[in-house]
């Protein structure tokens, strides 16, 4: 890895973290495309760099995260499934980070599911729009959907957004809840990985991480604002098609 790689991966992370396309999956595929050696540091970089994008959420939503205790309690409930899965299957998840084929399959299947869901779903008039009315039960089930995203290529935001809409939430409401839920989820995931791989953050590796961190933070600010505007007038079908096209291209020409 070099500084150009860190910048490129930072841009990829910032653009894709909150879109239903899998940021980790994209970083794995872009790393293969750039022929970046599949080292233990690269795997840790692909996890910990997400802190930059998460900081963008903190900057934009700090009031809800720091002042809205009712919302924070719902976020904690939704966080529990991912914590359990991440702790129990940490070693397996880390091994999957080196599998481009896993990403391609997950991207393709996820794209099909997104398209089918959007075509078959009809939003009810009483769909939940106010996050303060979100029940703890629904918050927990959204967390179960999020837990599926430990598989690279599934997409954390995609799983939570589809899960929330399936449970009767309006598109914009679940997108914002997905943003908020990302903060403790990714902080927990990156903290666990950093603790287990502290020795990897030495010398130039630390500079690579900081470069990717700040780049992903700046890019994520714009990505969040884009997605909020996008969901007001569009479905996620375009992202489903995009996932399938990317999966096919990488399968045919890269992997």
Q: Report pLDDT digits (tens) over 61-110.
A: 888 888 888 889 999 999 998 888 877 766 766 666 656 788 888 899 99
The owner of tokens 């500079």 is 207
The owner of tokens 């990829």 is 12
- For 184, residues 6+ apart whose C-beta sits below 8 A from its C-beta are 75, 76, 79
Q: According to the model, what pLDDT value does residue 96 have?
A: 62
Q: According to the model, what pLDDT value does residue 74 have?
A: 92
Q: According to the model, what pLDDT value does residue 85 have?
A: 81
Q: According to the model, what pLDDT value does residue 236 have?
A: 92
Q: According to the model, what pLDDT value does residue 10 have?
A: 94
Q: According to the model, what pLDDT value does residue 154 have?
A: 87
Long-range own/partner contacts, residues 25-31 (CB < 8 A, 24 or more apart)? 25/103, 25/106, 25/107, 25/152, 25/153, 25/154, 25/155, 28/97, 28/98, 28/99, 28/100, 28/103, 28/152, 28/153, 29/100, 29/103, 29/104, 29/246, 29/250, 29/254, 31/5
Domain of residue 142 covers: 3-253
Q: According to the model, what pLDDT value does residue 22 have?
A: 86
3-state DSSP assignment of residue 192: helix
- For 68, residues 6+ apart whose C-beta sits below 8 A from its C-beta are none
Token output for 232: 């007001």
Overall domain count for the chain: 1
Can you list the residues of the chain whose pLDDT is less than 70? 89-90, 92-99, 254-255
Q: Which of 149, 1, 20 is nearest to 78 (CA)?
A: 149
Q: According to the model, what pLDDT value does residue 153 have?
A: 81
Q: According to the model, what pLDDT value does residue 152 have?
A: 80
- For 26, residues 6+ apart whose C-beta sits below 8 A from its C-beta are 12, 13, 16
Residue 159 · residue 109 · CB < 8 Å: no
The Cα 171–Cα 153 span in angstroms is 22
Q: How far is CA 84 from the centre of its chain?
A: 17
Phi, psi of 36 (to 5 degrees): -75, 125
């Amino acid at each position: 890895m070099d500084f150009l790689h860190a910048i490129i991966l930072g841009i990829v992370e910032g653009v894709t973290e909150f879109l239903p396309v899998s940021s980790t999956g994209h970083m794995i595929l872009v790393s293969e495309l750039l022929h970046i050696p599949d080292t233990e540091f690269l795997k840790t970089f692909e996890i910990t760099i997400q802190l930059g994008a998460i900081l963008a959420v903190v900057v934009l939503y700090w009031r809800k995260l720091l002042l809205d205790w009712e919302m924070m309690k719902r976020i904690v409930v939704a966080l529990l499934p991912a914590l359990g899965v991440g702790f129990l299957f940490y070693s397996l998840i880390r091994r999957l980070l080196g599998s481009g084929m896993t990403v391609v399959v997950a991207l393709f299947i996820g794209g099909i599911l997104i398209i089918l869901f959007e075509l078959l779903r009809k939003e009810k008039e009483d769909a939940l729009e106010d996050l303060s009315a979100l029940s703890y039960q629904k918050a927990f089930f959204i967390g179960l959907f999020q837990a599926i995203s430990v598989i690279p290529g599934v997409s954390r935001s995609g799983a939570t957004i589809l899960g929330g809409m399936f449970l009767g939430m309006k598109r914009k409401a679940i997108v914002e809840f997905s943003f908020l839920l990302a903060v403790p989820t990714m902080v927990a995931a990156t903290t666990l990985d950093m603790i287990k791989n502290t020795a990897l953050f030495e010398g130039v590796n630390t500079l690579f991480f900081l470069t990717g961190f700040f780049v992903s933070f700046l890019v994520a600010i714009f990505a969040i604002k884009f997605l909020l505007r996008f969901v007001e007038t569009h479905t996620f079908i375009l992202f489903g098609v995009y996932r399938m096209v990317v999966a096919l291209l990488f399968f045919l020409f890269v992997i």
